[in-house]
Structure 1
Amino acid sequence: MSTDFQQARIALGARLRELRTEAQLTVRGMGERCAWAPSKISKLENGKQTATAADLDTWAQGVGRPEAAAELKGRLAGLESTYRSWRRQLVGGHRAVQDAIGAQHEKTTSFRGFTGSVVPGIFQTAEYARSVLSRYAELHGAVRDIEDGVRSRMRRQEGLYGSGKKYQVLIWEAALHVRICPPAVLMAQLDRLMSINGLDTVSLGIIPLAAPVKIATGDDFWIHDHRLVVAETWHTEMWLDAADEVTLYLKVWDALNEAAVYGQRAHRLIARARASLDLS
Protein backbone atom coordinates (compact mmCIF):
# COMPACT_ATOMS: atom_id res chain seq x y z
CA MET A 1 0.00 0.00 0.00
CA SER A 2 1.49 3.34 -1.04
CA THR A 3 2.24 6.05 1.48
CA ASP A 4 0.01 8.49 -0.44
CA PHE A 5 -2.85 6.01 -0.34
CA GLN A 6 -2.48 5.46 3.39
CA GLN A 7 -2.28 9.19 4.12
CA ALA A 8 -5.46 9.75 2.11
CA ARG A 9 -7.19 6.88 3.96
CA ILE A 10 -6.19 8.41 7.31
CA ALA A 11 -7.55 11.78 6.14
CA LEU A 12 -10.85 10.12 5.17
CA GLY A 13 -10.99 8.45 8.59
CA ALA A 14 -10.42 11.78 10.31
CA ARG A 15 -13.34 13.25 8.39
CA LEU A 16 -15.54 10.31 9.42
CA ARG A 17 -14.59 10.87 13.06
CA GLU A 18 -15.33 14.57 12.72
CA LEU A 19 -18.84 13.86 11.42
CA ARG A 20 -19.48 11.37 14.23
CA THR A 21 -18.25 13.82 16.87
CA GLU A 22 -20.39 16.61 15.45
CA ALA A 23 -23.39 14.27 15.75
CA GLN A 24 -22.43 13.70 19.43
CA LEU A 25 -22.20 9.94 18.95
CA THR A 26 -19.81 7.59 20.75
CA VAL A 27 -18.10 4.78 18.85
CA ARG A 28 -20.55 2.33 20.38
CA GLY A 29 -23.50 4.59 19.56
CA MET A 30 -22.33 4.93 15.97
CA GLY A 31 -22.00 1.16 15.71
CA GLU A 32 -25.60 0.76 16.85
CA ARG A 33 -26.78 3.34 14.30
CA CYS A 34 -24.99 1.53 11.47
CA ALA A 35 -25.54 -2.03 12.75
CA TRP A 36 -21.76 -2.55 12.81
CA ALA A 37 -19.35 -3.76 15.46
CA PRO A 38 -17.57 -0.90 17.27
CA SER A 39 -14.28 -2.30 15.96
CA LYS A 40 -15.30 -1.45 12.40
CA ILE A 41 -15.99 2.15 13.42
CA SER A 42 -12.52 2.39 14.95
CA LYS A 43 -10.80 0.80 11.94
CA LEU A 44 -12.48 3.18 9.51
CA GLU A 45 -11.71 6.25 11.62
CA ASN A 46 -8.05 5.31 12.11
CA GLY A 47 -7.35 4.45 8.48
CA LYS A 48 -6.99 0.73 9.22
CA GLN A 49 -9.76 -0.30 6.82
CA THR A 50 -10.80 1.10 3.44
CA ALA A 51 -14.44 2.16 3.38
CA THR A 52 -16.70 1.13 0.53
CA ALA A 53 -19.16 3.51 -1.12
CA ALA A 54 -21.95 1.65 0.69
CA ASP A 55 -20.15 2.15 4.01
CA LEU A 56 -20.02 5.89 3.37
CA ASP A 57 -23.74 6.02 2.56
CA THR A 58 -24.44 4.22 5.85
CA TRP A 59 -22.13 6.56 7.77
CA ALA A 60 -23.76 9.69 6.35
CA GLN A 61 -27.19 8.35 7.28
CA GLY A 62 -25.97 7.33 10.73
CA VAL A 63 -24.75 10.83 11.62
CA GLY A 64 -27.90 12.42 10.24
CA ARG A 65 -26.03 14.02 7.33
CA PRO A 66 -27.14 12.14 4.18
CA GLU A 67 -25.90 15.01 2.02
CA ALA A 68 -22.33 14.30 3.25
CA ALA A 69 -22.25 11.02 1.32
CA ALA A 70 -21.23 12.79 -1.89
CA GLU A 71 -18.28 14.48 -0.16
CA LEU A 72 -17.14 11.21 1.44
CA LYS A 73 -17.37 9.33 -1.86
CA GLY A 74 -15.36 12.07 -3.55
CA ARG A 75 -12.59 11.55 -1.00
CA LEU A 76 -12.76 7.79 -1.54
CA ALA A 77 -12.48 8.15 -5.31
CA GLY A 78 -9.25 10.11 -4.95
CA LEU A 79 -7.47 7.70 -2.62
CA GLU A 80 -5.12 6.12 -5.13
CA SER A 81 -5.50 8.07 -8.34
CA THR A 82 -2.63 9.70 -10.18
CA TYR A 83 -4.83 11.60 -12.63
CA ARG A 84 -7.55 13.18 -10.54
CA SER A 85 -10.20 14.93 -12.62
CA TRP A 86 -11.41 18.17 -11.09
CA ARG A 87 -15.02 17.23 -11.77
CA ARG A 88 -14.70 13.97 -9.85
CA GLN A 89 -12.75 15.52 -7.00
CA LEU A 90 -15.18 18.38 -6.60
CA VAL A 91 -18.03 15.95 -6.09
CA GLY A 92 -16.64 15.85 -2.57
CA GLY A 93 -16.45 19.64 -2.36
CA HIS A 94 -13.64 22.17 -2.24
CA ARG A 95 -12.69 21.38 1.33
CA ALA A 96 -11.87 17.77 0.43
CA VAL A 97 -9.57 18.93 -2.39
CA GLN A 98 -7.83 21.54 -0.24
CA ASP A 99 -7.47 19.15 2.70
CA ALA A 100 -5.75 16.57 0.46
CA ILE A 101 -3.21 19.16 -0.65
CA GLY A 102 -2.87 20.34 2.95
CA ALA A 103 -1.92 16.82 4.05
CA GLN A 104 0.94 16.86 1.54
CA HIS A 105 2.06 20.31 2.69
CA GLU A 106 2.35 19.07 6.26
CA LYS A 107 4.73 16.32 5.10
CA THR A 108 6.86 18.58 2.88
CA THR A 109 9.78 20.73 4.00
CA SER A 110 11.06 22.00 0.63
CA PHE A 111 8.74 23.33 -2.08
CA ARG A 112 9.56 24.40 -5.61
CA GLY A 113 6.60 25.82 -7.46
CA PHE A 114 5.65 27.59 -10.66
CA THR A 115 2.44 29.43 -11.50
CA GLY A 116 1.74 31.20 -14.76
CA SER A 117 -1.92 32.15 -14.46
CA VAL A 118 -2.66 33.34 -10.92
CA VAL A 119 -0.85 34.14 -7.68
CA PRO A 120 -0.16 30.75 -6.04
CA GLY A 121 -2.54 29.54 -3.34
CA ILE A 122 0.11 29.53 -0.62
CA PHE A 123 0.39 33.34 -1.00
CA GLN A 124 -3.28 34.20 -1.63
CA THR A 125 -5.45 36.49 0.47
CA ALA A 126 -8.82 35.04 1.44
CA GLU A 127 -10.64 37.41 -0.93
CA TYR A 128 -8.40 36.51 -3.87
CA ALA A 129 -8.69 32.78 -3.08
CA ARG A 130 -12.48 33.12 -2.96
CA SER A 131 -12.48 34.65 -6.44
CA VAL A 132 -10.18 31.99 -7.88
CA LEU A 133 -12.07 29.05 -6.39
CA SER A 134 -15.41 30.54 -7.43
CA ARG A 135 -14.36 30.92 -11.07
CA TYR A 136 -13.06 27.37 -11.33
CA ALA A 137 -16.08 26.06 -9.43
CA GLU A 138 -18.34 27.62 -12.04
CA LEU A 139 -16.28 25.99 -14.80
CA HIS A 140 -16.80 22.54 -13.31
CA GLY A 141 -20.31 23.09 -11.96
CA ALA A 142 -19.28 22.65 -8.32
CA VAL A 143 -20.15 25.85 -6.50
CA ARG A 144 -20.86 24.56 -3.00
CA ASP A 145 -18.64 24.78 0.12
CA ILE A 146 -16.30 27.38 -1.39
CA GLU A 147 -15.87 29.04 2.01
CA ASP A 148 -14.68 25.74 3.51
CA GLY A 149 -12.17 25.48 0.67
CA VAL A 150 -10.93 29.02 1.32
CA ARG A 151 -10.45 28.31 5.04
CA SER A 152 -8.53 25.11 4.30
CA ARG A 153 -6.28 26.97 1.83
CA MET A 154 -5.61 29.70 4.38
CA ARG A 155 -4.55 27.14 7.01
CA ARG A 156 -1.74 25.95 4.71
CA GLN A 157 -0.14 29.37 4.93
CA GLU A 158 0.89 28.77 8.53
CA GLY A 159 4.02 27.08 7.16
CA LEU A 160 5.24 30.41 5.78
CA TYR A 161 5.86 31.68 9.29
CA GLY A 162 7.64 28.68 10.80
CA SER A 163 11.26 27.67 10.55
CA GLY A 164 10.89 24.18 9.15
CA LYS A 165 9.83 24.86 5.56
CA LYS A 166 11.29 26.56 2.50
CA TYR A 167 9.26 27.87 -0.46
CA GLN A 168 11.06 28.53 -3.76
CA VAL A 169 8.36 29.94 -5.99
CA LEU A 170 8.38 31.23 -9.56
CA ILE A 171 5.55 33.38 -10.94
CA TRP A 172 5.23 34.45 -14.55
CA GLU A 173 4.75 38.22 -14.65
CA ALA A 174 1.45 37.86 -16.54
CA ALA A 175 -0.13 36.26 -13.45
CA LEU A 176 0.30 39.56 -11.60
CA HIS A 177 -2.07 41.25 -14.06
CA VAL A 178 -4.80 38.63 -14.46
CA ARG A 179 -8.15 40.19 -13.52
CA ILE A 180 -9.74 37.07 -12.08
CA CYS A 181 -10.98 39.24 -9.21
CA PRO A 182 -12.07 42.88 -8.70
CA PRO A 183 -9.22 45.43 -8.99
CA ALA A 184 -9.32 46.26 -5.27
CA VAL A 185 -8.91 42.57 -4.40
CA LEU A 186 -6.00 42.24 -6.84
CA MET A 187 -4.35 45.34 -5.36
CA ALA A 188 -4.56 43.87 -1.86
CA GLN A 189 -3.19 40.60 -3.19
CA LEU A 190 -0.19 42.31 -4.77
CA ASP A 191 0.44 44.17 -1.51
CA ARG A 192 0.49 40.83 0.28
CA LEU A 193 2.85 39.39 -2.31
CA MET A 194 5.31 42.24 -1.72
CA SER A 195 5.20 41.65 2.04
CA ILE A 196 5.74 37.91 1.63
CA ASN A 197 8.77 38.63 -0.54
CA GLY A 198 10.62 39.60 2.64
CA LEU A 199 10.03 36.37 4.57
CA ASP A 200 13.11 34.24 5.23
CA THR A 201 11.15 31.08 4.36
CA VAL A 202 10.32 32.38 0.88
CA SER A 203 12.43 32.77 -2.25
CA LEU A 204 10.17 34.53 -4.77
CA GLY A 205 11.20 34.85 -8.39
CA ILE A 206 9.24 36.69 -11.09
CA ILE A 207 9.76 35.71 -14.73
CA PRO A 208 9.46 38.95 -16.75
CA LEU A 209 7.28 38.88 -19.86
CA ALA A 210 10.19 39.92 -22.05
CA ALA A 211 12.77 37.61 -20.48
CA PRO A 212 14.55 35.16 -22.78
CA VAL A 213 13.64 31.65 -21.61
CA LYS A 214 15.07 28.18 -22.20
CA ILE A 215 11.61 26.63 -22.06
CA ALA A 216 8.14 28.08 -22.53
CA THR A 217 5.94 28.50 -19.47
CA GLY A 218 3.28 25.81 -19.18
CA ASP A 219 0.98 24.30 -16.58
CA ASP A 220 1.27 25.22 -12.90
CA PHE A 221 3.12 22.69 -10.73
CA TRP A 222 4.54 22.12 -7.26
CA ILE A 223 7.47 19.85 -6.38
CA HIS A 224 7.26 18.47 -2.82
CA ASP A 225 10.78 17.71 -1.62
CA HIS A 226 12.11 15.26 -4.24
CA ARG A 227 9.26 12.77 -3.87
CA LEU A 228 6.09 14.21 -5.48
CA VAL A 229 4.95 16.61 -8.19
CA VAL A 230 1.42 18.01 -8.21
CA ALA A 231 0.65 19.53 -11.62
CA GLU A 232 -2.59 21.09 -12.83
CA THR A 233 -4.42 21.22 -16.15
CA TRP A 234 -7.91 22.51 -16.93
CA HIS A 235 -9.52 19.15 -16.26
CA THR A 236 -7.05 17.18 -14.15
CA GLU A 237 -4.72 17.39 -11.17
CA MET A 238 -1.78 15.02 -11.61
CA TRP A 239 0.06 13.52 -8.66
CA LEU A 240 3.36 12.19 -10.01
CA ASP A 241 5.83 10.32 -7.82
CA ALA A 242 7.94 8.28 -10.27
CA ALA A 243 11.61 9.26 -10.03
CA ASP A 244 11.91 10.13 -13.72
CA GLU A 245 8.81 12.35 -13.56
CA VAL A 246 10.09 14.25 -10.52
CA THR A 247 13.49 14.66 -12.20
CA LEU A 248 11.85 16.10 -15.32
CA TYR A 249 9.94 18.71 -13.34
CA LEU A 250 13.07 19.65 -11.42
CA LYS A 251 14.78 20.29 -14.78
CA VAL A 252 11.83 22.39 -15.93
CA TRP A 253 11.91 24.42 -12.71
CA ASP A 254 15.66 25.01 -13.04
CA ALA A 255 15.25 26.14 -16.65
CA LEU A 256 12.46 28.58 -15.75
CA ASN A 257 14.44 29.83 -12.76
CA GLU A 258 17.26 31.00 -15.03
CA ALA A 259 14.88 33.62 -16.46
CA ALA A 260 13.54 34.82 -13.09
CA VAL A 261 14.47 37.99 -11.21
CA TYR A 262 14.56 38.28 -7.42
CA GLY A 263 14.72 40.82 -4.62
CA GLN A 264 14.21 44.45 -5.59
CA ARG A 265 13.84 43.59 -9.28
CA ALA A 266 10.97 41.25 -8.46
CA HIS A 267 9.51 43.86 -6.12
CA ARG A 268 9.51 46.44 -8.92
CA LEU A 269 7.57 44.13 -11.25
CA ILE A 270 4.94 43.54 -8.57
CA ALA A 271 4.75 47.27 -7.85
CA ARG A 272 4.37 47.99 -11.58
CA ALA A 273 1.42 45.58 -11.80
CA ARG A 274 -0.14 47.27 -8.77
CA ALA A 275 0.32 50.74 -10.27
CA SER A 276 -1.48 49.65 -13.43
CA LEU A 277 -4.73 49.10 -11.49
CA ASP A 278 -7.33 51.84 -11.85
CA LEU A 279 -9.62 51.98 -8.81
CA SER A 280 -11.35 55.22 -9.80
Structure 2
Amino acid sequence: MSDFQRAREALGARLHRLRADAGLTGREMASRLGWPHSKISKLENGRQTATTADLAAWAEATGRTDLSDALRSDLAGLETHYRSWRRRLAGGHQHVQREAGMEERSAHIVRAYEPTVVPGLLQTPDYARHVLHAAALHQSPRDTDEALRERMRRQELLYESGRCFRFIVWEGALHARVCPPDMLRLQLDRLDGLIGLDTVSIAIIPFSATLPLSLRHGFWIHDRSFVTVETINASLHLDDQADVALYLRAWELYEQVTVTGTDARHVLAAARHALGAI
Protein backbone atom coordinates (compact mmCIF):
# COMPACT_ATOMS: atom_id res chain seq x y z
CA MET A 1 0.00 0.00 0.00
CA SER A 2 1.32 3.46 -0.90
CA ASP A 3 1.91 6.25 1.63
CA PHE A 4 -0.82 8.17 -0.19
CA GLN A 5 -3.43 5.47 0.40
CA ARG A 6 -2.44 5.11 4.04
CA ALA A 7 -2.93 8.84 4.54
CA ARG A 8 -6.32 8.76 2.77
CA GLU A 9 -7.47 5.92 5.00
CA ALA A 10 -6.28 7.81 8.08
CA LEU A 11 -8.37 10.81 7.04
CA GLY A 12 -11.33 8.52 6.45
CA ALA A 13 -10.95 7.02 9.93
CA ARG A 14 -10.97 10.54 11.40
CA LEU A 15 -14.19 11.37 9.55
CA HIS A 16 -15.74 8.14 10.85
CA ARG A 17 -14.86 9.06 14.44
CA LEU A 18 -16.39 12.50 14.05
CA ARG A 19 -19.63 11.02 12.75
CA ALA A 20 -19.75 8.35 15.44
CA ASP A 21 -19.02 10.89 18.20
CA ALA A 22 -21.92 12.97 16.90
CA GLY A 23 -24.22 9.96 17.30
CA LEU A 24 -25.05 9.75 13.60
CA THR A 25 -25.40 6.61 11.52
CA GLY A 26 -24.02 6.59 8.01
CA ARG A 27 -27.50 6.94 6.53
CA GLU A 28 -28.36 9.79 8.89
CA MET A 29 -25.16 11.56 7.89
CA ALA A 30 -25.95 11.09 4.20
CA SER A 31 -29.46 12.46 4.71
CA ARG A 32 -28.20 15.47 6.66
CA LEU A 33 -25.66 16.32 3.92
CA GLY A 34 -27.86 15.38 0.96
CA TRP A 35 -25.27 12.89 -0.27
CA PRO A 36 -25.61 9.29 -1.45
CA HIS A 37 -24.93 6.84 1.37
CA SER A 38 -22.21 5.29 -0.80
CA LYS A 39 -20.22 8.55 -0.63
CA ILE A 40 -20.16 8.41 3.17
CA SER A 41 -18.86 4.86 3.02
CA LYS A 42 -16.19 5.64 0.39
CA LEU A 43 -14.89 8.65 2.29
CA GLU A 44 -14.70 6.82 5.61
CA ASN A 45 -13.02 3.77 4.10
CA GLY A 46 -10.42 5.73 2.14
CA ARG A 47 -11.82 4.81 -1.28
CA GLN A 48 -12.57 8.41 -2.28
CA THR A 49 -10.62 11.62 -1.68
CA ALA A 50 -12.62 14.34 0.06
CA THR A 51 -12.71 17.90 -1.25
CA THR A 52 -12.34 20.97 0.94
CA ALA A 53 -16.10 21.54 0.54
CA ASP A 54 -16.77 17.96 1.69
CA LEU A 55 -14.69 18.47 4.83
CA ALA A 56 -16.35 21.80 5.66
CA ALA A 57 -19.78 20.21 5.31
CA TRP A 58 -18.71 17.21 7.42
CA ALA A 59 -17.40 19.42 10.21
CA GLU A 60 -20.61 21.45 10.25
CA ALA A 61 -22.88 18.38 10.16
CA THR A 62 -21.07 16.85 13.15
CA GLY A 63 -20.98 20.09 15.11
CA ARG A 64 -17.18 20.30 14.99
CA THR A 65 -16.49 23.36 12.86
CA ASP A 66 -13.54 23.96 15.20
CA LEU A 67 -11.80 21.08 13.42
CA SER A 68 -12.26 22.47 9.90
CA ASP A 69 -8.71 23.79 9.66
CA ALA A 70 -7.24 20.51 10.93
CA LEU A 71 -9.22 18.53 8.37
CA ARG A 72 -8.08 20.84 5.57
CA SER A 73 -4.50 20.36 6.73
CA ASP A 74 -4.95 16.58 6.50
CA LEU A 75 -6.31 16.99 2.99
CA ALA A 76 -3.37 19.15 1.97
CA GLY A 77 -1.11 16.30 3.02
CA LEU A 78 -3.01 14.10 0.59
CA GLU A 79 -3.13 16.52 -2.32
CA THR A 80 0.65 16.99 -2.26
CA HIS A 81 1.55 13.71 -0.65
CA TYR A 82 5.18 12.72 -0.30
CA ARG A 83 6.12 9.14 -0.97
CA SER A 84 9.66 9.36 0.37
CA TRP A 85 12.38 7.58 -1.60
CA ARG A 86 13.99 6.51 1.67
CA ARG A 87 10.91 4.45 2.52
CA ARG A 88 9.99 3.43 -1.04
CA LEU A 89 13.50 2.19 -1.85
CA ALA A 90 14.10 0.44 1.45
CA GLY A 91 13.42 -2.85 -0.32
CA GLY A 92 15.11 -1.90 -3.58
CA HIS A 93 14.01 -0.52 -6.94
CA GLN A 94 12.13 -3.48 -8.37
CA HIS A 95 8.82 -2.87 -6.61
CA VAL A 96 8.97 0.85 -7.49
CA GLN A 97 9.27 -0.06 -11.16
CA ARG A 98 6.40 -2.53 -10.80
CA GLU A 99 4.23 0.11 -9.13
CA ALA A 100 4.95 2.57 -11.95
CA GLY A 101 3.92 -0.08 -14.47
CA MET A 102 0.61 -0.62 -12.68
CA GLU A 103 -0.11 3.12 -12.78
CA GLU A 104 0.70 3.26 -16.49
CA ARG A 105 -1.44 0.22 -17.24
CA SER A 106 -4.44 1.80 -15.50
CA ALA A 107 -4.29 4.91 -17.73
CA HIS A 108 -5.43 5.36 -21.32
CA ILE A 109 -3.34 8.48 -22.01
CA VAL A 110 0.04 9.02 -20.32
CA ARG A 111 1.84 12.33 -20.82
CA ALA A 112 5.47 12.61 -19.72
CA TYR A 113 7.69 15.69 -19.66
CA GLU A 114 11.39 15.20 -18.96
CA PRO A 115 14.01 17.98 -19.21
CA THR A 116 17.09 16.07 -18.03
CA VAL A 117 16.85 12.40 -18.99
CA VAL A 118 15.21 10.17 -21.60
CA PRO A 119 11.91 8.91 -20.09
CA GLY A 120 12.08 5.42 -18.61
CA LEU A 121 9.54 3.97 -21.04
CA LEU A 122 11.82 4.93 -23.94
CA GLN A 123 15.17 3.85 -22.49
CA THR A 124 17.43 1.14 -23.89
CA PRO A 125 18.61 -1.48 -21.37
CA ASP A 126 22.17 -0.07 -21.23
CA TYR A 127 20.96 3.52 -20.78
CA ALA A 128 18.44 2.41 -18.13
CA ARG A 129 21.10 0.48 -16.22
CA HIS A 130 23.25 3.61 -15.89
CA VAL A 131 20.24 5.68 -14.79
CA LEU A 132 19.35 3.10 -12.13
CA HIS A 133 22.97 2.96 -10.94
CA ALA A 134 22.84 6.73 -10.47
CA ALA A 135 20.12 6.17 -7.87
CA ALA A 136 22.89 5.00 -5.51
CA LEU A 137 22.43 8.46 -4.02
CA HIS A 138 19.70 6.89 -1.86
CA GLN A 139 21.98 4.06 -0.66
CA SER A 140 19.19 1.57 -1.36
CA PRO A 141 19.65 -2.20 -1.89
CA ARG A 142 21.34 -2.94 -5.21
CA ASP A 143 18.73 -4.84 -7.23
CA THR A 144 19.57 -3.24 -10.56
CA ASP A 145 19.05 -6.39 -12.65
CA GLU A 146 15.58 -7.01 -11.21
CA ALA A 147 14.61 -3.33 -11.53
CA LEU A 148 15.89 -3.25 -15.11
CA ARG A 149 13.73 -6.24 -16.04
CA GLU A 150 10.67 -4.49 -14.59
CA ARG A 151 11.46 -1.28 -16.49
CA MET A 152 11.79 -3.21 -19.76
CA ARG A 153 8.53 -5.03 -19.01
CA ARG A 154 6.79 -1.67 -18.62
CA GLN A 155 7.76 -0.84 -22.20
CA GLU A 156 5.51 -3.61 -23.55
CA LEU A 157 2.61 -1.20 -23.07
CA LEU A 158 4.00 1.03 -25.82
CA TYR A 159 2.91 -1.55 -28.37
CA GLU A 160 -0.61 -2.23 -27.06
CA SER A 161 -3.30 -1.05 -29.45
CA GLY A 162 -5.57 1.70 -28.12
CA ARG A 163 -3.01 3.21 -25.76
CA CYS A 164 -1.55 6.69 -26.09
CA PHE A 165 1.87 7.73 -24.74
CA ARG A 166 2.93 11.33 -25.33
CA PHE A 167 6.45 12.44 -24.46
CA ILE A 168 8.06 15.86 -24.35
CA VAL A 169 11.85 15.91 -23.92
CA TRP A 170 14.17 18.91 -23.81
CA GLU A 171 17.04 18.69 -26.30
CA GLY A 172 19.54 18.94 -23.45
CA ALA A 173 18.46 15.48 -22.24
CA LEU A 174 19.69 14.05 -25.54
CA HIS A 175 23.20 15.34 -24.85
CA ALA A 176 23.40 14.54 -21.11
CA ARG A 177 26.22 12.03 -20.52
CA VAL A 178 24.41 9.70 -18.13
CA CYS A 179 26.10 6.80 -19.92
CA PRO A 180 29.12 6.28 -22.24
CA PRO A 181 28.86 7.89 -25.72
CA ASP A 182 28.40 4.60 -27.58
CA MET A 183 25.42 3.71 -25.37
CA LEU A 184 23.97 7.19 -25.72
CA ARG A 185 24.19 6.85 -29.50
CA LEU A 186 22.14 3.63 -29.32
CA GLN A 187 19.63 5.42 -27.11
CA LEU A 188 19.24 8.18 -29.68
CA ASP A 189 18.77 5.53 -32.38
CA ARG A 190 15.96 3.98 -30.35
CA LEU A 191 14.17 7.32 -30.04
CA ASP A 192 14.46 7.79 -33.80
CA GLY A 193 12.98 4.34 -34.34
CA LEU A 194 9.98 5.06 -32.08
CA ILE A 195 8.98 8.21 -33.94
CA GLY A 196 5.92 7.34 -35.99
CA LEU A 197 4.74 4.47 -33.77
CA ASP A 198 0.92 4.65 -33.61
CA THR A 199 0.75 4.61 -29.82
CA VAL A 200 3.69 6.94 -29.18
CA SER A 201 4.26 10.66 -29.72
CA ILE A 202 7.77 12.02 -29.18
CA ALA A 203 8.17 15.81 -29.17
CA ILE A 204 11.43 17.65 -28.50
CA ILE A 205 11.92 21.17 -27.17
CA PRO A 206 14.94 22.34 -29.19
CA PHE A 207 17.68 24.58 -27.82
CA SER A 208 16.45 27.28 -30.22
CA ALA A 209 12.92 27.36 -28.80
CA THR A 210 11.59 30.51 -27.17
CA LEU A 211 10.38 29.04 -23.91
CA PRO A 212 6.85 29.91 -22.70
CA LEU A 213 8.01 29.18 -19.15
CA SER A 214 11.30 28.06 -17.65
CA LEU A 215 12.28 24.40 -17.79
CA ARG A 216 10.82 22.91 -14.62
CA HIS A 217 11.04 19.47 -13.04
CA GLY A 218 9.80 16.44 -14.95
CA PHE A 219 6.26 15.19 -14.44
CA TRP A 220 3.91 12.42 -15.60
CA ILE A 221 0.16 12.95 -16.10
CA HIS A 222 -2.04 9.85 -16.03
CA ASP A 223 -5.22 10.61 -17.99
CA ARG A 224 -6.68 13.55 -16.09
CA SER A 225 -6.63 11.64 -12.80
CA PHE A 226 -3.30 12.38 -11.15
CA VAL A 227 0.25 13.65 -11.66
CA THR A 228 3.49 12.18 -10.37
CA VAL A 229 6.50 14.41 -9.75
CA GLU A 230 9.89 13.12 -8.67
CA THR A 231 12.22 15.17 -6.50
CA ILE A 232 15.54 14.15 -4.98
CA ASN A 233 13.96 12.98 -1.74
CA ALA A 234 10.43 11.96 -2.70
CA SER A 235 7.83 11.17 -5.31
CA LEU A 236 4.74 13.39 -5.18
CA HIS A 237 1.29 12.05 -5.99
CA LEU A 238 -1.03 14.95 -6.92
CA ASP A 239 -4.68 14.15 -7.56
CA ASP A 240 -6.34 17.45 -6.68
CA GLN A 241 -8.05 18.50 -9.91
CA ALA A 242 -6.69 22.05 -9.67
CA ASP A 243 -3.15 20.63 -9.58
CA VAL A 244 -3.85 18.27 -12.47
CA ALA A 245 -5.23 21.19 -14.50
CA LEU A 246 -2.12 23.26 -13.69
CA TYR A 247 0.22 20.55 -14.98
CA LEU A 248 -1.91 20.07 -18.08
CA ARG A 249 -1.55 23.80 -18.81
CA ALA A 250 2.23 23.53 -18.36
CA TRP A 251 2.22 20.54 -20.72
CA GLU A 252 0.28 22.48 -23.36
CA LEU A 253 2.64 25.45 -23.11
CA TYR A 254 5.71 23.25 -23.57
CA GLU A 255 4.02 21.40 -26.43
CA GLN A 256 3.56 24.65 -28.35
CA VAL A 257 7.33 25.01 -28.83
CA THR A 258 8.22 21.39 -29.62
CA VAL A 259 9.26 19.81 -32.87
CA THR A 260 8.01 16.41 -34.00
CA GLY A 261 8.36 14.00 -36.90
CA THR A 262 11.08 14.89 -39.40
CA ASP A 263 12.12 17.98 -37.43
CA ALA A 264 12.56 15.87 -34.29
CA ARG A 265 14.71 13.46 -36.29
CA HIS A 266 16.93 16.38 -37.31
CA VAL A 267 17.44 17.24 -33.62
CA LEU A 268 18.35 13.61 -32.88
CA ALA A 269 20.76 13.59 -35.82
CA ALA A 270 22.47 16.70 -34.45
CA ALA A 271 22.87 15.02 -31.05
CA ARG A 272 24.39 11.95 -32.72
CA HIS A 273 26.74 14.17 -34.72
CA ALA A 274 27.91 15.83 -31.49
CA LEU A 275 28.81 12.40 -30.13
CA GLY A 276 30.77 11.56 -33.25
CA ALA A 277 32.83 14.73 -32.89
CA ILE A 278 34.25 13.62 -29.54
Tell me, yes or no, whether TM beats 0.5.
Answer: yes
1:184-195 counterparts in 2 under 5 A? 184-195=182-193
User: Residue 129 of structure 1 aligns with which residue?
Assistant: 128
1:13-32 counterparts in 2 under 5 A? none
Q: CA deviation at 1:214?
A: 1.0
User: Residue 268 of structure 1 aligns with which residue?
Assistant: 266
CA RMSD of aligned residues (A): 2.2
1:6-155 counterparts in 2 under 5 A? 82-136=81-135, 138-155=136-153
- Give the Cα–Cα distance (whole angstroms) in 2 for the partners of residues 3 and 131 of structure 1: 27
Q: CA deviation at 1:174?
A: 0.1
Q: CA deviation at 1:193?
A: 0.4
- Give the Cα–Cα distance (whole angstroms) in 2 for the partners of residues 159 and 4 of structure 1: 26
Aligned pair count reads: 206
Amino acid at match of 2:203: G
Alpha-carbon distance change, 279 to 156 in structure 1, aligned in 2, over 3 angstroms:
farther
Q: CA deviation at 1:278?
A: 3.6
Amino acid at match of 2:123: Q
Amino acid at match of 1:218: R
Deviation digits for residues 137-166 of structure 1 (CA, Å, limit 9, x no counterpart): x21112510111111111111111111210
Q: CA deviation at 1:107?
A: 0.3
Structure 2 unaligned regions, length at least 5 = 6-78
- Give the Cα–Cα distance (whole angstroms) in 1 for the partners of residues 89 and 3 of structure 2: 19
Secondary structure class of the residue paired with 1:276: helix
Secondary structure class of the residue paired with 2:90: helix
Q: CA deviation at 1:82?
A: 2.4
CA contact (8 A) 2:4 2:81 kept: no
User: Residue 161 of structure 2 aligns with which residue?
Assistant: 163
Amino acid at match of 1:262: T
CA contact (8 A) 2:171 2:207 kept: yes
CA contact (8 A) 1:95 1:148 kept: yes
Identity of aligned residues (%): 44
Deviation digits for residues 41-83 of structure 1 (CA, Å, limit 9, x no counterpart): xxxxxxxxxxxxxxxxxxxxxxxxxxxxxxxxxxxxxxx9921
The structure whose Rg is larger is 2
- Give the Cα–Cα distance (whole angstroms) in 2 for the partners of residues 268 and 146 of structure 1: 33
- Give the Cα–Cα distance (whole angstroms) in 2 for the partners of residues 81 and 158 of structure 1: 30
